[in-house]
Structure 1
Amino acid sequence: MRIRTFHEEDRPALRELATRAAQGSPTETLWGHPESEAQIYLEPYMDHEPESLFLAEADGVLVGYLTGCVDTAVFPSETRRIEDAIRTHRLILRPGPAAFFARSALDAAGAALRRAPTAGEIHDQRWPAHLHINVAPEGRGTGAADGLMDQWFERLRSLGSPGCHLQTVVENTRAVRFFERMGFTPHGPAPVVPGMRYLGGRVHQRTMVRSC
């Protein structure tokens, strides 16, 4: 297993890996349009902070990746990235995404009536960095995920970062257990993620934090 940094020529293989690695998980897709979801959750990291993007490679094939951001405050916000993707891909004219956004609006309205929080980004200088990690089935149990996390925290320590946060979902129990093993602890409530469904039920955001 080789852990290395991202290179520009890795873009096509990384896009393919991102789709393949997410299959079957609660966060496999938001609205069933991989191109727009990659524009939100993958391409900004290749464009804005490639030095914080690490790849796991086995026999020359990518099997995992970690996208990181050292300072969330200066990174394009998730809201902005979603808005850009909606415009670029005209998602409100596509049946799948349009249904997701309608369901999301209903979920948000219901939460507002109950005065309950909904999922969203956090900005806390105790944990300014954030990450996303994904490993394909053939890379699991090989040390790829551990190696990616080790490389990421080595980078954060070298830059003097105080800590890192991440956001997964409660329903992804395998991911939550892995992050706990990596030293992350739950932080804050577990609000509904508007619009998302998994096995017919609502999905809840789990924020986790770790000091460097």
Structure 2
Amino acid sequence: MFVRPYEPFDRQDVYDICVRTGDGGGDARGLYSDDELLPDVYAGSYLHLEPELAFVLDDGDRAVGYVLGTADTRAWAAACRRHWLPLVSPRYRLVEPPVTAEDHLVDTLHHPERNVLDELDEYPAHLHIDLLPGHQGAGHGRELMRTFLAALAERDVPGVHLGVAARNTGALRFYERLGFHRITGDEHGTTLGRRTDVPV
């Protein structure tokens, strides 16, 4: 088991991991009309726009976990609008106002600018990290996070943030153990932040 940089042949594994952990940490296969919706929202743009900031956990056969993200959320939102949405948005009809859970997810895809918040300026990067259930709890998530934070530090990025669904209490405890602290939140979820110059 080892962490390595993402390669284009990992894309389907990353998409699979995203779906199988996409329901508050549980399996989201079949929840939406298209199983690629979740990874198109939470993984695809990063692989397309900043593949150098994507890393996978390899079990010797395939990727079983990943961490990916952006060094600059504002720049990512603009690039997503220009270069990612034209590729995927025609597949997902925007419903305004959104009603169903799928409508809200599609709405998130169509509005990357909503990730840009003034209160997160000290934490310009953001990330997504997921591991298949059978590979959780063995220190692999910590190693993925350490790798990603080191890549940000090399780019002189001062801080990173991430979002956690309120019901994903296991993930929240994991991030807190890694030094993340609460920035904002409500009954739906919490945004956590961390400086990159603090060791994991």
User: TM-score w.r.t. structure 1 length?
Assistant: 0.73
Q: Distance in 1 between matches of 2:36 and 2:23?
A: 15
How far apart are residue 158 of structure 1 and its match?
1.1
From the superposition, tell whether residues 125 and 42 of structure 1 become closer, same or farther in structure 2 (CA, over 3 Å): same
Structure 1 spans left out of the alignment, 5+ residues:
105-119, 193-203
Task: Pick 1 or 2: higher relative contact order, CA cutoff 8 A, min separation 6.
Answer: 1
Distance in 2 separating the partners of 1:92 and 1:75: 21
Q: Which amino acid letter does the alignment assign opposite residue 182 of structure 2? A: P
Q: CA deviation at 1:27?
A: 9.0
Q: How far did 1:78 drift?
A: 11
Counting only pairs closer than 5 Å after superposition, residues 1-212 of structure 1 correspond to structure 2 as 1-22=1-22, 25=25, 28=28, 32=32, 33-76=34-77, 87-91=89-93, 99-100=100-101, 120-121=114-115, 122-123=117-118, 124-190=120-186, 204-212=188-196
Shift of 1:84: 5.9
Higher strand proportion (structure 1 or 2): 1
Deviation at 1:58, TM superposition (A): 1.5
- Structure 1 residue 79: deviation in Å? 9.3
Aligned length: 181
In the TM superposition, residue 42 of structure 1 has moved relative to its aligned partner by 1.2
Greater radius of gyration (CA): 1
In the TM superposition, residue 62 of structure 1 has moved relative to its aligned partner by: 1.5
Query: Matched residue of 1:65: which SS?
Result: strand
8 Å Cα contact 2:43/2:68 also seen in 1: yes
